[in-house]
Chain A
């Protein structure tokens, strides 16, 4: 099932790409333009996706959904999205402390004090390393 969804996703991407590739000039074979390779690649991707869909080899063994702890995965992805948003609003140190603490709890770290101290220490240490030592500008 998951494999079928993945194939549908790639078909959607290929069709979307091919649709916008058509807006670029193809040129001629003696004078290819900006759309030459994109149209060829988009068409090839669509054909290959259909071939994957109908191929008997799609029955090959894959990990699929076995072993996916959906609850954990959902909360990790949610945390990642909110981290990017919070980075822009509250800045690096505060957002990283919250994000790390949240991840420690999602990944079943026991206790509250140790994860709290660790996330604060790590966030401040990274800020010092990146900003002071590596000269990176962080939000």
Chain B
């Protein structure tokens, strides 16, 4: 069967009642958390992980993916109407989106954001449809050195792109690797760092850590804020039509944003955020009137909002074809797979073809659903902002705690959840990004297995990592990035100290 036939089969799977319902629930929840400041898509998926135990694997993964890309759609609503980004990838949209809303063009900004998101999201999905199987085929020849090299390169690039200090990000990645070593060693069967605690013997539950670092910490951050009444810009349905000039100016940024987002999604790091800033910079540079940016330039909405949706689709490529999550969002999705005993990677397409193609097809359907529900229902979603967060957040916190308990029926997990929630709160406050920690925790076992197996096979020859062509090229890129950064540090140190 060729790719088109398999995709058609995927549509057959995803159009079943349960999967279609899961997709609809996912995109609605995604839009909701995108709209509501205080809780993001990663936190939401983390909170819902335990609830998916009783769901069919395909349906639950379709739902989680729907939350992930749905949030990118919803995030623009609050940015435009309220000047408050619903999630991090919509920060840049505030600048021109809200300026347009203040000029009475909020409806046009919302429509361009939604249509741009749909077009670019579909571009990303077409890339996912054709690239993921090709990459998975290529990855079948990968051995331990290649997986080790990819994990190392992923961590190196990730620490460079998180937006915080590279040293802090590297430290967080290493702490994640350290946490990943707790429990039984897969090679020797020796218990490590368990201190006689049974709960630690089986290793630290990844989803509990993710729920703590992303979910509980976000809830704490929101709950400690004073209650603020939001001033919402009103939009009428008939205003949701961009004029001809606005359309003309939006088309090219939408396609450029789609391309930028797709490429950013293939790189490790917070692709959604990086792609929006890159797209905004490109549009501003290309514009004949750069002074308009920040004062309501529609290109400043069309480009970034398209880019973050394309990035959301593209981040699925390394996850589905290599089994390696390159962002916190895809790491959470990976745990959605693992909770159902499914390991993404090169063999996923053959072993779980229905799930793989059903998921991709559901994303096409979800994209259409998002366009249909986002434009007419924008008023309803915006009115959700009136929900008092001091009522909503404690309820969400109880769901989180109950969900975390239900994973292993363990009070120890609850202590971990709260401990990592508090840690996550202070980490974000002090410039320590939790995303590298989560990626380190996920990639740590891959890295350790790849390293130890390669060294045993190569009889301790470290050069075997470099003599294998694919592994050598990947590590070479990693080394280049490290040397480039070190030279940058050296330069700034010499400048600061007057040498």
Contact = CB atoms under 8 A, between A and B. Distances in A.
Given A30-B455, A64-B429, A48 B174 contact: yes
Interface residues of B, number: 64
A14 B381 CA distance: 45
A88 B411 contact: yes
Given A32-B455, A100-B394, A108-B390, A37 B171 contact: no
Interface in A39-93: 41-42, 44-45, 48-49, 51-52, 55-58, 60, 62-65, 67-69, 72-73, 76-77, 80-81, 83-84, 87-88, 92
A126 B228 CA distance: 28
B380 interface: no
A63 B429 contact: yes
Given A6-B430, A41-B181, A67 B165 contact: no
Contacts of A117: none
Interface string B165-206: 101101100110110010001011010110000000000000
Chain A, interface residues (CB within 8 Å), range: 35 or more
Contact of A104 (B168, B391, B448): B391
A94 interface: no
Nearest to B409: A137
Interface stretch (B134-142, B276-284, B414-422): B414-422
A5 B49 CA distance: 32
Contacts of A49: 171
Contacts of A55: 165, 167
A77 B220 CA distance: 9
Interface in B390-440: 390-391, 393-395, 397-399, 401-402, 405-406, 409, 411, 414-415, 418, 421-422, 425-432
B224 A68 contact: yes
Contact of B462 (A29, A67, A76): A29
Interface string B75-86: 000000000000
B350 interface: no
Given A32-B452, A67-B225, 14 more contacts: A2-B430, A5-B430, A6-B426, A17-B178, A37-B452, A45-B171, A52-B171, A60-B165, A84-B415, A87-B405, A126-B399, A130-B406, A136-B406, A138-B406
25 contacts: A3-B430, A6-B427, A13-B175, A24-B192, A29-B455, A29-B460, A30-B456, A30-B459, A31-B455, A32-B187, A36-B452, A45-B178, A48-B170, A52-B168, A57-B165, A60-B164, A62-B430, A68-B224, A68-B429, A76-B224, A77-B422, A80-B401, A87-B405, A109-B390, A136-B405
Interface of B: 51, 53-54, 164-165, 167-168, 170-171, 174-175, 177-178, 181, 185, 187-188, 190, 192-193, 220, 223-227, 388, 390-391, 393-395, 397-399, 401-402, 405-406, 409, 411, 414-415, 418, 421-422, 425-432, 447-448, 451-452, 455-456, 459-460, 462, 496
